[in-house]
Chains A and B, each alone.
Chain A
Amino acid sequence: MSSPILKLIAQRVALGIVLLLAVSVLIFAGTQILPGDVAQAILGQSATPESLANLREQLGLNDPAYIRYFRWLGGVLTGDLGTAMSSGQDIATSIKDRLWNTLFLAFWAAIVAVPLAIILGLIAVRYRNGWVDKLISGLALASTSFPEFFIGYVLVYFFAVKWQIFPGISTVYDGMPFGERMQAIALPATALTLVVLAHMMRMTRAAILNVMQSAYVETAELKGLSAFNVIRRHAFPNAIAPIINVVMLNLAYLIVGVVVVEVIFVYPGMGQYLVDHVTKRDVPVVQAVGLIFAAVYISLNIIADIGAIVANPRLRHPK
């Protein structure tokens, strides 16, 4: 590793942190713009002027906004996300389990989906425009075009109700044996895999096909390499940057965008937690979850960036 790469990585990470700070300002500002304040939301209809004043004093709402922002930010940096208004529970503790659940599901969905998508993409290129290519693309596009809830219900109908292979309810809890946990997430992970598969597969196919037009691929073909080896040795490494990008985007989706799948399979993840608290106007929780989602997106994008740079000699050695 040469030092320009380290410098580049450091730059990206620094940029990411600045971006995250900017997002935190936005989130904080956004919740300030909402009508009413936290004290009003806590007390609801039964609010009297005195109790409002008392609670505002107690929560420090009378301080100017920038002081409250830094107080909040300081708390976040030290791992204190505050307490939820609606249930009075510590946010960090309740988020920890939920976040872990979400990551667990996303991890296993990704473990299946990413290699599958890339391999299918490679196969599609190898037999491009043939019936194999068309079949793969057709099926993948179909599975993506169906809404998530439809795929979910179809899976539940066959696997949980008709054949009773997997449970239709994916409730997981602390201390659940690993095997049971895997069985519980089988259906939601499958549904998520089907949802993200086509995007990654099509992108892999397109990126490699793009490279396949180049002169060096023709050379490789002329020197007698088999079609699959041409793709594996020459085309794929040069197409990896856009593939990493789309993989990271889909990973981000698996973490922050799975509310519907969580609801259908009753999976205790972040999405349902966020929705519950938005409907209750539980601002501290919404802020915390918003920040975590932003952090996930930004860090995955940084990884994609760095991956693309490392994979591309032209970016690795800028003039």
Chain B
Amino acid sequence: MSNELEFLSRRVASGKLSRRDFLGRAAALGVTATFANSLLSGAARAAGPIKGGTLKAGLVGGESTNSLDPALMMTQVPFAFGKCWGEMIVELSPEGKLENRIAEEIGSSDDAKVWTLKIRDGVEFHNGKTVTAADVAATLERHSDEKSKSGALGYMKGIETIKASGKEVVLTLKEANADLPYLLSDYHLIVQPNGGKDKPDAGISAGPYVVKTNEPGVRHGGERFANYWQGDKMGHADQVEVIVINDATARTAALQGGQVNMINRVEPKIVDLIKRLPGVTIRNHAGPGHYVFIMHCNTAPFDNNDLRMALKLAIDREEMLDKILRGYGSLGNDFPINSSYPLFTEIEQRKYDPDKAKFHYKKSGHDGTVLLRTSDVAFPGAVDASQLFQQSAAKAGIKIELKREPGDGYWNEVWNKQPFCASYWGGRSTQDQMYSTAYLSTADWNDTRFKRPDFDKMVLAARAELDETKRKQMYHDMAVLVRDEGGLILPMFNQFIDATGAKVDGWVDDPHQELMNGYALAKCWLQA
């Protein structure tokens, strides 16, 4: 690290230099933005968090139907509030490494089939009890039970037995899985007393904040937990509050009016306007989320790979990235993985090529129009994106007919039912998770009906492989298969775009989820 950079980053931390100026100078010194950012946050941390105050977030993604039961968490508000009151077994650090929380140590047998979690001493629940191995085991058991309707059930099914003995929890898997610790970082797996079996929605865990108010769809509030086990790292504000603001304009106005300190999901089209507001900082960063058009590989006419290839070549990704995301994203390449995943490898970028598309379209022998279903809820700007797709395809001689479906019921009636529609994926933390969720023949959410026994074998083999180089090659081969023969058209990866108001400090970009992987309220602080 050059001395000059270090000096500059300290000046930002002490408020003498703006963040943007710093990034500009860092770029002039030949430093990448990512590294400069991490430098910056390091300096801010060095300046030290300030305790006190109330940190408020205005977030989209909360309904009056929400519950504090971690198994049922689906949308952004329960997710972000869960990271305030919940404590995890293991978590992903902003750098993508595993960070041990309640588990002090995680070890596996050589074949990655038996995993041992050593439980940390002296972690306390909000109700005063100490977290034990039995609590962790009970939590995992509850999420493996069909009845809990847990969002983590899909992964938990792979665990055959869960045993607590002394300070250890031993998990035996049905099949080897080198990624198990990553799976345990799933946000549903908040450790609860007796696994939450007694009262799933009690809202008691061992996180930095104790639940004080819980009005689903309105607001959630927490007060700092005095006995939090790592109080130096998290839980700086005295109180945190999440206010549900589903309307984008109201959210921006609340940030502007100073009623909240941070908001999520700033629309790309207004980012440039918000940037200019005094005190407001846009926090945008790449993540694994992507916008897609999905074709069922087993339904006519999409059962023909030439037609699928024609459509993949007939989409103008650069135009879409530019017009729909206003550049706040990156190009997709028809496989669901990007550089935010460990073990990612570059593959040649697919480009808009009307001539080649025409060739494949002719070869497919398809005649007439192709019906694409779309809706506002598929992803922000989905209807516009579908129209762009229609126009770029028309230039290749492919007629796409658009059908706009109502947003209400889109995820029940259209997605994963109709053969060709617009959709989105939030991404997962490992490649294995992503492929197992949506590309295995047996996956419920195989929304492209990509059913290939050879691919399934590759997924299972890569899952059990502990050698990183070999594993990387396997994932590369899988990506090529999905890209060239699958039913996925992936024009772009979107970015998380959050915004913070004046005085919010301690922000660290986290590629895993929006709002610093949900930890913004717990990890940020208010400047004095």
Contact = CB atoms under 8 A, between A and B. Distances in A.
Contacts of A263: 246-247, 250
A164 B218 CA distance: 22
A275 to B, nearest CB: 9
Interface string B65-79: 111000000000000
B217 interface: yes
A276 B65 contact: yes
Nearest to B56: A169
B63 A276 contact: yes
Given A46-B146, A46-B149, A160 B257 contact: yes
Max chain A Cβ within 10 angstroms of own Cβ: one of B146, B218, B254, B408: B218
Interface stretch (A19-27, A82-90, A130-138): A82-90
A169 B261 CA distance: 13
Contact of B245 (A86, A169, A282): A169
Nearest to B200: A88
B259 interface: yes
B256 A272 contact: no
B219 to A, nearest CB: 6
B107 interface: no
A173 B213 contact: yes
Nearest to B407: A279
Interface string B316-353: 00000000000000000000000000000000000000
B444 interface: yes
A306 B252 CA distance: 47
Contacts of B247: 263-264, 266
B258 A153 contact: no
B217 A276 contact: yes
Nearest to B66: A87
A78 interface: no
B78 to A, nearest CB: 11
Interface in B211-249: 213, 215-219, 243-247, 249
A280 to B, nearest CB: 5
Given A167-B259, A173-B218, A156 B250 contact: yes
B65 A264 contact: no
Q: Specify which of A89, A167, A171 lies most central, judged by the most chain B CB atoms within 10 Å of its CB.
A: A171
B216 A87 contact: yes
A68 interface: no
A119 interface: no
A159 B64 CA distance: 28
Contacts of B215: 173, 268
Contact of B64 (A88, A94, A164, A266): A94
A46 B72 CA distance: 14
B213 to A, nearest CB: 7
A104 interface: no
A102 B247 CA distance: 19
B491 interface: no
A164 B332 CA distance: 43
Contacts of B65: 84, 86-87, 276-277, 280, 282
Interface in B298-314: none
Interface string B350-372: 00000000000000000000000
A171 B221 CA distance: 13
Interface in B49-107: 58, 63-67
B253 interface: yes
Contacts of A265: 250
B253 A161 contact: yes
A121 interface: no
Interface in A293-310: none
A183 to B, nearest CB: 12
B259 A272 contact: no
A273 B256 contact: no
A45 B65 CA distance: 18
B254 A168 contact: yes
A69 interface: no
A168 B257 contact: yes
Interface in B244-297: 244-247, 249-250, 253-254, 256-260
Nearest to A97: B215
A279 B58 CA distance: 22
B63 A88 contact: no
Nearest to A268: B218
Given A272-B217, A279-B408, A169 B254 contact: yes
A157 interface: yes
A282 B63 CA distance: 13
A4 to B, nearest CB: 47
B67 A266 contact: no
A287 to B, nearest CB: 15
B219 A167 contact: no
Nearest to A280: B65
User: Which of B215, B247, B257, B259 has the most C-beta atoms of chain A within 10 angstroms of its own C-beta?
Assistant: B257
Interface of B: 58, 63-67, 146, 149, 201, 213, 215-219, 243-247, 249-250, 253-254, 256-260, 408, 444
Given A266-B247, A273-B217, 19 more contacts: A46-B146, A87-B64, A87-B66, A89-B216, A94-B64, A153-B253, A160-B257, A164-B258, A168-B254, A168-B257, A169-B58, A169-B243, A263-B246, A263-B250, A264-B249, A266-B250, A266-B254, A268-B217, A280-B63
Interface of A: 45-46, 84, 86-89, 94, 153, 156-157, 160-161, 164, 167-169, 171, 173, 263-266, 268, 272-273, 276-280, 282
List 4 tightest A-B contacts by C-beta distance, closest first: A86-B65, A268-B218, A276-B63, A276-B64
28 contacts: A84-B65, A86-B65, A87-B64, A87-B65, A87-B67, A89-B216, A153-B249, A153-B253, A156-B250, A157-B253, A160-B253, A160-B257, A161-B257, A164-B257, A167-B257, A167-B259, A168-B250, A168-B254, A169-B254, A169-B257, A264-B247, A272-B64, A273-B217, A276-B64, A277-B64, A278-B408, A279-B63, A282-B65
